Amino acid sequence: MKRREFITLLGGAAATWPLAVRAQQPGKIPRIGIIDDSLHWNAFRHGLRDLGYLEGQNIAFDYAYGDGVPERLAEAAAALVRRPVDVIATFGTPASFAAKQATTTIPIVMISIGDPVRTGLVPSLARPGGNITGNTILGPDVGAKRLQILKEAIPTISRVAFLWNPDNASNVLQLEEIQAAAPTLGVTVISVSVSPRIEFETAFAAMMKERPDAFAMAAEPFHQTHIAWIIDFMAKNRLPAVYQLSETVHAGGLMSYGASQPDLFRRAAGYVHKILRRARSPPTYRWSSRSNSSWPSTSKPLTRSGLRYRPGFSPSPTR
């Protein structure tokens, strides 16, 4: 499968954003609110710097933390609205819901959303309405494809553990898509539910009792903060795994099918730039979504699991 890119026009949202944001007061430094800052946000800050924004000189960042817990995310979003900030940037579906519920006037740039329409964040990609723009990783749409690729690579697998967060509406949809595709592929899906209220060690110990022979996961923000531990767990337990984010392969994961997260964060910086610089005529924004697949440059991760790719299956950086 060749690398693919989908871009859909985002209409209508910019026209209804508040006049206070369109006309910044002379000398006023715009403030960007970020919920749950982490290393993932470095690409966003670098993207803004490449566009000429220097922290403390012509832009400032305000941070609020919810640690992935829905109630605390709501409090974090409300705190940013009270300060107030000029734009709120969010990573993932739970934080985006919190921001949407906190304000209908401050522009929101959502990053790496699984399915903004089916989760109810926007009514449609073409006409999202309100104060929302951003990008999507097509989470539910590509979840079943990842399962298919894993089965194509290693036909002997039959029990795949899937890691998801019950607090993330996009993860719920992705689990449903994977469970629906599993019978056709001759695979049983083992649900592994982990949220900030559930310890990884406890959930993974229970998972191993179900005797999985492969593993898959979504690009859930809370889970990504533990990705090094997850990759190491897969290696120690000799479980082949497919991930959603392409950079996971560079970190030692076996294979991925999904977006590049740093790319999505850099693109979001461009959206913020357009919001801050617009004048009377609002620009056209795009809701973008990307999906591509990656394999390791060597077979070391697969060798550690004691398995082999099926004959004729050729790993490649982009498929």
Full-model pTM: 0.80
DSSP strand E in 122-272: where? Answer: 132-136, 159-164, 188-193, 214-217, 241-243, 255-258
Quote the CA–CA distance of 12 and 204 in Å, as a whole number: 44
Q: Indicate the residue type of 13.
A: A
pLDDT value at residue 298: 40
pLDDT value at residue 2: 34
Q: Quick check: 97 pLDDT over 70?
A: yes
Token duo for residue 292? 């591509």
Query: How many CA atoms, within 13 angstroms, populate the side-chain half-sphere of residue 271?
Result: 29
**CB proximity list for 222: less than 8 A, separation 6 or greater:** 67, 68, 165, 168, 194, 195, 196
State the first-to-last Cα distance of the chain, in angstroms, to the nearest integer: 5
DSSP sequence for 76-118: HHHHHHHTT-SEEEEESHHHHHHHHHH-SSS-EEEEEES-TTT
- The answer to whether the CB of 134 falls within 8 A of the CB of 274 is no
Q: Quick check: 317 pLDDT over 60?
A: no
- Hey, how many other C-beta atoms are within 10 angstroms of the C-beta on 182? 18
**Averaged over 260-280, what is the pLDDT?**
86
Q: Identify the band that residue 19 occupies on the pLDDT scale cut at 50, 70 and 90.
A: very low
**Averaged over 86-110, what is the pLDDT?**
96
pLDDT value at residue 114: 87
**Averaged over 293-303, what is the pLDDT?**
48
pLDDT digits (tens, 9 = 90+) for 189-241: 999 999 998 899 999 999 999 999 999 998 899 999 999 999 999 999 999 99
Q: Identify the band that residue 296 occupies on the pLDDT scale cut at 50, 70 and 90.
A: very low
Lowest mean pLDDT among 136-150, 233-247, 274-288, 289-303: 289-303
Average pLDDT, the chain: 83
Quote the CA–CA distance of 66 and 77 in Å, as a whole number: 9
pLDDT digits (tens, 9 = 90+) for 134-191: 998 876 668 889 999 999 999 999 999 999 999 999 999 999 999 999 999 999 999 9
Handedness of CA 286, 111, 244, 211 (dihedral sign): negative
pLDDT value at residue 127: 77
Handedness of CA 51, 43, 117, 73 (dihedral sign): negative
pLDDT value at residue 253: 92
Quote the CA–CA distance of 162 and 178 in Å, as a whole number: 9
3-class DSSP assignment, residue 277: helix
